[in-house]
Amino acid sequence: MVIGGGIAGIQASLDLADRDIHVYLVEKDPTIGGKMCRLDKTFPTNDCSACILSPKLADCAGHPNVTVLSYSEVVKVDGEAGNFKVTVKKKPRYVNMSSCTGCGDCVNACVLGGEKAKIPDEFEYGLVNRGAIYIPHAQAVPRVALIDAEHCLMISKGKCGKKCEKACMKGAINFEDKETEEVLEVGSIIAAAGFQLWDAGIATEYGYGRFDNVVTSMEYERMMCASGPDHGHIKCPSNKEDPKKIAYIQCCGSRSEKKGWKKYCSSVCCTYAAKQAIITKEHSDVQEDIFFMDIRSYGKEFEAYIKRAESQYKINMHRGARVSHIEEDPVTKQLTVNYTDKDGNAVGAVYDLVVLSIG
């Protein structure tokens, strides 16, 4: 059994399956793919993330030795190495997986969908909204709709006219679906649990959640992605205009003794900030500044990648600069980034958009 359906869990499952070992791949989210399916490109080659991941998703879904258990969680493990009994909880989708074709007719019929949509889309980190019945994203595996029971008017209040059910030509909607548990016998368990993004709201001095134009690195990744809400056209959230100046603040949530922050380095922020700055520069003539204590770019050719961002793409690197706080102009929504430079001088620089590198 592999617990976690991100890229690590997928690759582990395929490696085992290709050796004629049957694998149960358990993922708590409705689809497999993890954080990687949200990325635009990967460093240091800037290869398309989906081009790498999508074939593996398809291989996993179609492999005779892989059983994908999405929207499921391991709740109990008994036994010993070579003889485990694992209890897996399967959450209700309210959609029959064997009947659903992923056509999207139910999504279009939902009374809470379309222009009326007010439910934050988890896949897009809340940058756009969705309806109560939805398919998580275009490359979803499995490509099956599910109903958000908390917001569905039929499930929570018993009213809505069952528009989605009437729209489904396959009769896949099942409002009576229930949570189930299954006990699986396995010989070994691989934990590929992935990572959890740091809550940028803890850094109140940076204004995340209060200032419209302060976004996290993963939100920005979706903003710059061709498959994202704005199809790769980067806009300021406050007015949907093109930013002329963007600041990237490193070590947000890490390398600090502050309450709620992590004391260690995430090891990836420096390189992905450079990646985001490079890709942004390739699409628009924008001034970009990266504020950091020091560069910690681990991996083959990573240091050269950072140097290329600075020399070839003319991205401004502010070494030894730790940002103290951010202020917002209530009228223009522009942001003043206050920091101390390497010479100890207090500086305030104005930007249209600020990206917090949260690990």
pLDDT of residue 188: 98
Q: Which helix (DSSP H) or strand (DSSP E) does residue 153 occupy?
A: helix 153-157
Query: Would strands 214-216 and 353-356 be described as parallel, antiparallel, or unpaired?
Result: parallel
For residue 254, the tally of other CB atoms under 10 A from its CB is 18
Closest listed residue to residue 207, CA positions, set 346, 341, 333: 333
Q: What is the pLDDT of residue 359?
A: 78
Contact 86, 184 (CB under 8 A): yes
The per-residue pLDDT for range 250-309, each reduced to its tens digit, is: 999 999 999 999 999 999 999 999 999 999 999 999 999 999 998 988 889 999 999 999
Q: Using 50, 70 and 90 to split pLDDT, how confident is the model at 74?
A: very high
> What's the pLDDT tens digit per position in 189-212?
999 989 999 999 999 999 999 999
Report pLDDT for 159. 87
Q: How many CB atoms lie within 10 A of CB 234?
A: 19
The pLDDT value given to residue 322: 86
Residue type, 208: Y
pLDDT reported for residue 298: 84
Residue whose token pair is 């081009």: 51
Q: Is the distance from CB of 47 to CB of 275 less than 8 angstroms?
A: no
Structure tokens at 77: 């493990």
Report residue 223's pLDDT band, with 50, 70 and 90 as the boundaries: very high
Domains, the chain, ordered by start: 2-90+179-191 (3.50.50.60), 105-167 (no CATH), 200-356 (3.50.50.60)
Residue 115's pLDDT is what?
87
Contacts of residue 338, Cβ cutoff 8 Å, sequence gap at least 6: 323, 324, 325, 326, 327, 346, 347, 348
Quick check: 88 pLDDT over 90?
yes
158 vs 153: CA distance, rounded Å? 6
- Kindly report the average pLDDT of the chain as a whole number: 96
- % of the chain surpassing 90 pLDDT: 92
Contact yes or no for 133/152 (Cβ under 8 A): yes
Quote the CA–CA distance of 60 and 223 in Å, as a whole number. 28
Q: In the structure, what pLDDT confidence band is assigned to residue 95 with cuts at 50, 70 and 90?
A: very high
Beta bridge partners of 347: 339
**Mean pLDDT (whole number) for 324-348:** 95
Asked if the model's pLDDT at residue 216 lies above 90, the reply is yes
Which pLDDT score, from 0 to 100, does residue 25 have?
A: 99
Residue 181: which pLDDT band, with cuts at 50, 70 and 90?
very high
Percentage of the chain exceeding pLDDT 70: 100
Tell which phi-psi region holds residue 218, choosing left (phi > 0), alpha (psi between -120 and 50) or beta: alpha
Its pTM surpasses 0.85: yes
> What pLDDT does 7 receive?
97
What is the per-residue DSSP string for 238-260?
Answer: TT-PPPSEEEEE-STTSS--STT
